[in-house]
Amino acid sequence: MSYEKVLQAKSIFVGTKQTVRAIKTGNINEVMIATDADPRLTSQVANIAKENKIPITYVDSKKKLGKACGINVGSAVVAIINK
């Protein structure tokens, strides 16, 4: 179910830096974080999302998350925009 949200999203931001930047602009509906990613990378995104009251969905695989984004490498974090 969670990976389908990425496929159906109108726009996404992939990666921690782009996600943090997008959260600060205020256009994000949801953040997806892979649980198998390094917490040192994902904790900053999780904290900023919580501060901005953006829902966080945790998924089990960064490889599957990357594939859902259409890239050939894993992705620890994805921001979804449905506006």
For the chain, give every domain's residue range: 2-81
Q: How far apart are CA 62 and CA 83, in angstroms?
A: 25
Please give the order of strands across the beta sheet that includes 11-14.
Answer: 11-14, 77-81, 30-34, 56-59
Q: Give me the CATH code for the 2-81 domain, please.
A: 3.30.1330.30
H or E element, residue 3: helix 2-8
Taking CA atoms, 27 is separated from 11, 38, 49, 70, 73, in Å, by 10, 25, 12, 21, 25
pLDDT digit string (tens) for 11-69? 889 999 999 999 888 788 999 999 999 999 899 999 999 999 999 999 999 999 989 88
**Is the full-model pTM beyond 0.85?**
yes
Amino acid in position 7? L
